[in-house]
Amino acid sequence: MKISVIGTGYVGLVSGVGLAHHGHKVICVDIDEEKVNKINDSEPPIYEEGLEEMLEEVVSDGKLSATTDTLQSILDSEVTFICVGTPSKRDGSVDTSAVENAAKDISQALKEKDDYHVVCVKSTVTPGTTEGKVLPILEKSGKRVGDDFGLGMNPEFLREGVALNDFLDPDRIVIGGWDEKSRNKLEKIHEDFGAPKIMTDLRTAEMIKYASNALLATKISYANEISKICEKKGIDVYEVMDGVGLDHRINRDFLNAGCGFGGSCFPKDVKALRALAKEVGVTTRILDAVLSVNDEQPLHTIELLKEELGELKGKKIAVLGLTFKGGTDDVRETRALPMIEKLLKEGAEVVGYDPKGMENFSELIDEVEFDKGIKDALDSAEACIIQNDWSEFRSLESEDFDGMKNKVVVDARRILDPKDLSEEITYIGIGKGPVD
């Protein structure tokens, strides 16, 4: 099938490449000419595991190309996926202006198109948006939904870093449609995927995405709350969750205690769901708690540090990991920011290190020094906090901490095993009672 994809962020590009790999002819559209040129040169503008190789494969097979010409891409395709960003507004609700702009462009193209065309929203939008905001814009073309064009909503469940794998091997595919005809077209696109397909209406599809992300965020905050009780009682929360997670009704994923969830999705989506609830007069005790536990968690790591070091004034503290998780340069909603702000407030001298995130992080805050390597960052530090789970941090060994003045290690992602570390190191693992 001929498909156009508007927006070449990690969702749009990964979906485009994945669909092209499945044999479709894909045109990726972006306003950024530099990105478009890179894609046509088989150079992904973002890093995702396996993306470069697969992009090269689909570009050289003539299955994928990129353009800045939205109009032509729609005239040349049968289905258009909208994959643009939907950031948070100040009140937590979703800014859908990029989705609406994409719909306006599509509407212009529909005016000139005689063939039936399906428009499908992949961007995360709150229930009612596709029908309430996208549809009226498309109908301004003078064309009618159902007769002249179809409308769908197909949420993505892609984790940054492993997005291509998540796209090619999904747990389920959710296809919301205005009518049977729209759904059938979208189902056909996915016919080679083995995953179960949920065929539903537009607003249910939109809600499935929010309810999924909010539940995953709830699991994390739940694990973080249990971890605090475990710390007080000398119990290891990771062992507890291993036991809990074996129950197939619960499952072990996303029960890792740490310094909270960040990224471009969970914080934004939970806030958006809460804003939507408020709009419709529903109280959200669970969602409120999920967010407040998450706000406290990075500060809790500093409390743990202070229990060991006392006052932090004038002390050099190294923060290892500045991005919201390992494997990405993305610093959106990273827990490193509230953590470092608190350290600075306490008068500490903060040195940060991240394999890929230092440039982006330096735009968020001024008072942090950055070091080129772990060794420099740790040199003469009184303590370090491991904030994210880069593989480089997972392989840290006792000798790596040799240059520290005081060998206090707060493992806020539980990626080191204290049994492998020398006795000289004071290891404080989040959600773990004192080491015996």
Q: Tokens for 294, please give them.
A: 């998450």
Question: Could you write out the DSSP letters of every residue in 332-350?
Answer: TT-THHHHHHHHHHTT-EE
3-state secondary structure of 414: coil
* 159 sits near ligand UGA (criterion: CB under 6 A): yes
Q: Which amino acid is at 352?
A: G
C-beta closer to ligand UGA: residue 184 or 212: 212
Instruction: With beta carbons less than 8 A apart as the criterion, state whether 254 and 214 touch.
Output: no
**DSSP H stretches of helix in 76-127:** 97-111
- Whether 259 is catalytic: no
E strand intervals along 287-407? 316-320, 349-353, 369-370, 383-386
* 256 sits near ligand UGA (criterion: CB under 6 A): yes
* 261 sits near ligand UGA (criterion: CB under 6 A): yes
What is the Cα–Cα distance from 247 to 265, expressed in whole angstroms?
27
* 262 sits near ligand UGA (criterion: CB under 6 A): yes
What is the Cα–Cα distance from 173 to 157, expressed in whole angstroms?
9
- What x-and-dash track marks residues 6-45 binding ligand UGA by CB under 6 A? ----------------------------------------
Residues 312 to 331: which contact ligand UGA by CB under 6 A?
324-325
What is the Cα–Cα distance from 417 to 429, expressed in whole angstroms?
9
Q: Which of 81, 167, 238, 266 binds ligand UGA (CB under 6 A)?
A: 266
* Total residues at interface with ligand UGA (CB under 6 A): 20
Site stretch for ligand UGA (CB under 6 A), options 260-268, 305-313, 338-346, 356-364:
260-268
Q: Which of 47, 116, 193, 254 binds ligand UGA (CB under 6 A)?
A: 254
Who contacts 351 (Cβ-Cβ below 8 Å, separation ≥6)?
316, 317, 318, 319, 368, 369, 370, 371, 377, 381
Site stretch for ligand UGA (CB under 6 A), options 13-21, 254-262, 338-346, 400-408:
254-262
Q: Which of 44, 127, 176, 263 binds ligand UGA (CB under 6 A)?
A: 263
Q: Which amino acid is at 73?
A: S
- Minimum distance of ligand UGA from residue 27's CB (angstroms): 23
Q: Which amino acid is at 411?
A: D
What is the Cα–Cα distance from 36 to 176, expressed in whole angstroms?
29
Which entry of 28, 83, 259, 265 is annotated as an active-site residue? 265
Q: Tell me, what DSSP letter sits at residue 328?
A: -
* 116 sits near ligand UGA (criterion: CB under 6 A): no
- Minimum distance of ligand UGA from residue 142's CB (angstroms): 34
Q: Which of 220, 293, 374, 410 binds ligand UGA (CB under 6 A)?
A: 220
Q: Which amino acid is at 403?
A: G
Site stretch for ligand UGA (CB under 6 A), options 83-91, 150-158, 313-321, 426-434:
150-158
Residues that bind ligand UGA (CB under 6 A): 124, 156-160, 213, 216, 220, 254-256, 258, 261-263, 265-266, 324-325
- Give the residue numbers annotated as catalytic, written as ranges: 265
